[in-house]
Amino acid sequence: MSKEARFRRGVTTAVAAAAALTLITGCSSGAGSDASTSGGDVTIELAQWWEPELPDGALRTLMDTFESENPGIKVKLLSGPYASTKEQLFAGAAAGTMSDVVGLDGAWVSDFAKQGALADLSTLMKDAKYDDSELASTIKVDGKTQMIPVVNFVYPLFTNDDLLAKAGITTPPSTRTEFETAAKAVTALGDNTSGWVLPLSSEAPNGIQNDVMSWVWSSGGTMLDDGKPDVTNKDVTGAVKYIKDLNDAGVIAPGSATMKEQDKVEEFTNGRVGMMIDSLSHIDLIRTSNPDLKFSISAIPAKDGFTGERGIPYASWGVGVSASSKHPAESWKLVQFLMNEKTNSELSTLANAFPGNTKSVPDFTSSDPLFKQAFDIYSEGKPANEFVGLPVAEQLMRLFDEQLQAILQGDESVDDGLKKAQDAWVGEF
């Protein structure tokens, strides 16, 4: 072999080895730190699903304000859809690379707390001498504050005005009897029209929280006893029997068992159902998809004769701080910024949600009039969501969902189904 050939072979070997080395370093460089310090500035990460759901650039503008008010702190936004944010946070918590500040859903908190992934916000508040009296609520697990709801989305009853009027119903139902009457009247209109829509897909079982347990909470009921499962009590049994009656009367839109939230909204938007329980955040979507649809919102009907404070289901954009953050003080400053009166008002206005700061008031001047009406419903009742802070909340919903489907199909009685759900929930706890 010539000298040149030997040289060439040596070079190719080196190049191949270098390529392999590059690959290894390339693979490993992904596991970088969750925050960095460069040029005297501290960069903290905020992982959330909010940015895609807000108007373009809105969250970044808020972060620019934060950066200008807190020189030396930069915020890097890590945004993704809701479901992938959850998976990303779980992976980050397991690998110790969770972002400094994280967007949280109340249903995740217990599981992250179990992993030891979240910092105790009480300690951070104490260190920063923060007065938490303005916070509407905090979510605690084992006595430690793990999440602060930044904004809340409530789930009132949506009614199709035209369908109800055609069925002879002039006002949205306020009691269970009125609701049943309205649902039957709308269904009787025929032409594939149903009174109510109930999504029970086991892929996304949040229908149990929003569309089933809301009947319990709206009448001041509970599904827990001292923080433990109690789904065989008279509140839950009564609500499930009521839903079973509605099902037997044929007023629930067909396809319930595999229907998801977006299917529910689509059925309502297309004018095929008279009533649904849904998030206020879908008002704009409904208006855009069907500008001719006339609809109203009202509180979820309660048991006949109920005079107490009505619970209204809600979902939150919550916030927490990673236990592995290298910059907890700076991270807390960001949380504090999100929760201050001015930012919280602005964020709730942008998100069409209700503020997590008791002093904040959303600006309804340029929003849909229904938001103002919803704010009144929200102010008159009390936010209720007992799944917040429960362990494996989504699995609890799924287990209940399976039993409810069996009950609705007539495979088991209400009492037997709820007994099985109770046993399954106790097992998960």
Partner 1 sequence: MASTNTVVRPGSTKSRTSGWAPTARKLTPYAFLSPTVIVMLVLMLIPVIMVIGYSFMDNVITNKNPVFVGIDNYVEVLSDPVFRTATGNTLFFTLVSVAAHLLLGLGFAMLLNSPLVGNVTKALFRVVYILPWLFTVAIIAVLWRLMLNPNGVVNYILISLGLTDKGIEWLSSPDTALLAVTFINIWAGYSFYMVTLLAGLQGVPADLYEAARVDGASAFQRFWNVTLPQLKPIIISMSVLDIIWTSQQFALIWMTTGGGPVNVTEMLSTYTYKLAFSRYEFSVASASAVLILLLTMVLAFFYVRHQKARD
Q: Lay out the site mask for partner 1 across 359-398 (x = CB under 8 A, - = otherwise).
A: ---------------------------------x-xx--x
Q: Using the rule CB under 8 A, which residue among 82, 94, 126, 227 binds partner 1?
A: 94
416 phi and psi, to 5 degrees? -65, -45
Concatenating the DSSP letter of every residue in 224-282 gives EETTEE-TTSHHHHHHHHHHHHHHHTT-BPS-GGG--HHHHHHHHHTT-EEEEE--GGG
- The residue (of 117 and 150) whose beta carbon lies closer to partner 1 is 117
Binders of partner 1 among residues 116 to 175 (CB under 8 A) are 116
For 151, what's the count of Cα atoms within 13 Å in the CB-facing half-sphere?
24
Exactly one of 34, 45, 100, 111 binds partner 1 (CB under 8 A); that residue is 111
Q: Give the residue, chosen from 80, 238, 255, 271, that forms a contact with partner 1 under the rule CB under 8 A.
A: 255
* Residue 79 tokens, joined: 């945004």
Tokens of 1: 């072999």
167 Cβ partners below 8 Å, 6+ apart?
182, 185, 186, 188, 189, 274
Query: Nearest-CA neighbor of 218 among 198, 236, 205?
Result: 236
Establish if 262 lies at the interface with partner 1 (CB under 8 A): no
Q: Can residue 16 be called a binding residue for partner 1 (CB under 8 A)? A: yes
Q: Are 109 and 146 in contact (CB under 8 A)?
A: yes
Rg (CA), the chain: 25
- Applying CB under 8 A, does 115 fall inside the site for partner 1? yes
Q: Which is nearer to partner 1, 92 or 220 (CB)?
A: 92
Q: Taking CB under 8 A as the rule, which mask of x and - marks residues 165-184 in contact with partner 1?
A: --------------------
Cα distance between residue 331 and residue 102, in whole Å: 10
Tokens of 183: 């649902």
- The least CB distance from residue 214 to partner 1, in Å, is 21
Contact between 290 and partner 1 (CB under 8 A)?
no
Considering the rule CB under 8 A, would residue 41 count as an interface residue with partner 1? no
User: 322 and 34 in contact (C-beta within 8 Å)?
Assistant: yes
Residue 327 and residue 42 in contact, taking contact as beta carbons nearer than 8 Å:
yes
DSSP annotation of 212 = I
Residue closer to partner 1 (CB basis): 115 or 233: 115
Determine phi and psi for 211, rounding to 5 degrees: -110, -15
- Binding to partner 1 (CB under 8 A) within 210-249 occurs at none
Interface positions, 194-213, toward partner 1 (CB under 8 A): 200-204
Choose between 7 and 308: whose C-beta lies nearer to partner 1. Answer: 7
From 8-16, 45-53, 297-305, 316-324, span contacting partner 1 (CB under 8 A):
8-16
87 lies in the site for partner 1, by CB under 8 A:
yes
Decide if residue 17 touches partner 1 (CB under 8 A): yes
Q: Does 12 bind partner 1 (CB under 8 A)?
A: yes
User: For residue 134, what is the DSSP state?
Assistant: G
410 binds partner 1 (CB under 8 A): no
| 8 A C-beta contact, residue 118 and residue 151 | no
Q: Does 192 bind partner 1 (CB under 8 A)?
A: yes
Using CB under 8 A, list all residues that contact partner 1.
Answer: 1, 6, 9-10, 12-13, 16-17, 19-20, 23-24, 27, 87, 90, 94, 111, 114-116, 192, 200-204, 253-259, 272, 392, 394-395, 398, 401-402, 405-406, 409, 411, 428
